[in-house]
Amino acid sequence: MNSRERVTRTLRFEHPDRAPRDLWCLPGVLMFQQDEVDAVQARYPLDIVGAPGVDGPSRRASGTPNVVGTYTDAWGCVWRVAEPGVIGEVKGPPLADWTALETFTPPYEVLEGADFSRVNPFCAETDQFVIGHPGIHPFERMQYLRGSEALYMDLAYGANELLRLRDMVHRFYMEKLARWCETNVDGIGFADDWGAQHNLLIAPRLWRELFKPLYAEYFQVVHDAGKFVFMHSDGDISAIYPDFIEIGVDALNSQLFVMDIEELGRQYRGKITFWGEIDRQRVLPFSTPDEVRAAVRRVRAALDDGSGGVIAQCEWGINVPRANVEAVFETWLE
């Protein structure tokens, strides 16, 4: 079977011939280790690929991401990068003062100038499973706009402006998503980090009240278009795993090693596809290839019953040895 068939059968628990492969490379790896990335992908061809970017030009964006210094994104958030090859942090949130919300508008010009002309030909020319990444992350975007500390205070005290900000971001993302769903991509990817090291960043009750309805709308649009939903969220998100399943996530990428992997398998195996991962906090950067293999075997023992529902994914960070990435994919073939 080809890659598209393999991923589709995995998501449907229809006994693929093996777990599909997916590799995420942080910017620094692509900037400084492209030859190594090419060598790994030649040895272990990937089954999943991202669609070409399509956003139009922004009136507010300036500077260059991932290089030391500052840059401004399409929403007017000012980022500071202290080390080459990393994403950086927002140090200039445009809505630090709520009065700025009165005149603030999302960057609709990037939708008006978006060029989707390469997406469908790209999908037609590959037998890989193609995921579109519209960049939909309402919680993170609200933090970038308001500042993380201020937004958490807003959530705690129930600021009136909070819902206005949420709804403004959501309307923009709904329009962006609708355009992506008109293309021939196989799935749509979402990313929003909700977990701390040992629990959710906000109370599950508050998450269900304020944010779960947004994701439910996004995922309904994707499914109505006949596509699969891929969701990423860092940290310990065990409290909302059943919520993501309920509202239609097909594949969930999460930090398995900060949760109870075996318990996740007992509760959710066969109900959702585990889209990776192998521990990138300790195992991948600091362990030997044999220790990496042991980590992969632990994941497989807990989650892989042979019917599908698992994707062999890992993230290649700047400090991860190539041998450890290769050990991941080698062990998934055992």
DSSP secondary structure, 85-119, as one string: TS--EEEE-TTSSGGGGGT----THHHHT---TTH
Low-confidence spans in the chain with pLDDT less than 50:
none
Burial 246-270 (b: 16+ CB within 10 A, else e): ebbbbbbbbbbbbbebeebbeebbe
In the prediction, which pLDDT does 89 show?
96
166 vs 148: CA distance, rounded Å: 14
Residue 13 DSSP class: T
Share of the chain above pLDDT 90, in %: 99
For residue 178, give the H/E element and its range: helix 160-180
Residue type, 75: W
In the prediction, which pLDDT does 84 show?
92
pLDDT in tens, 117-160: 999 999 999 999 999 999 999 999 999 999 999 999 999 999 89
Using DSSP's 3-state secondary structure scheme, residue 23 falls into strand
- Domains of the chain (ranges; CATH) run 3-56+98-332 (3.20.20.210)
Using DSSP's 3-state secondary structure scheme, residue 327 falls into helix
Distances (CA, A) of 153 to 96, 107, 156, 160, 186: 12, 26, 5, 12, 39
pTM confidence score: 0.96
Ramachandran region of residue 19, left (φ > 0), alpha (ψ -120 to 50) or beta? beta
Q: For tokens 């930090």, what's the residue? A: 255
- Among residues 166, 179, 180, the alpha carbon closest in space to that of 133 is found at 180
- How far is the first Cα of the chain from the last one, in angstroms, to the nearest whole number? 18
Ramachandran region of residue 331, left (φ > 0), alpha (ψ -120 to 50) or beta? alpha
Residue type, 252: L
317 vs 29: CA distance, rounded Å: 6
In the prediction, which pLDDT does 53 show?
86
Q: What's phi and psi for 31, nearest 5 deg?
A: -75, -35
Contact present, 191 and 134 (Cβ < 8 Å):
no
What residues pair up with 313 in beta bridges, in sequence order?
22
pLDDT in tens, 207-236: 999 999 999 999 999 999 999 999 999 999
Q: For tokens 């449907």, what's the residue? A: 12
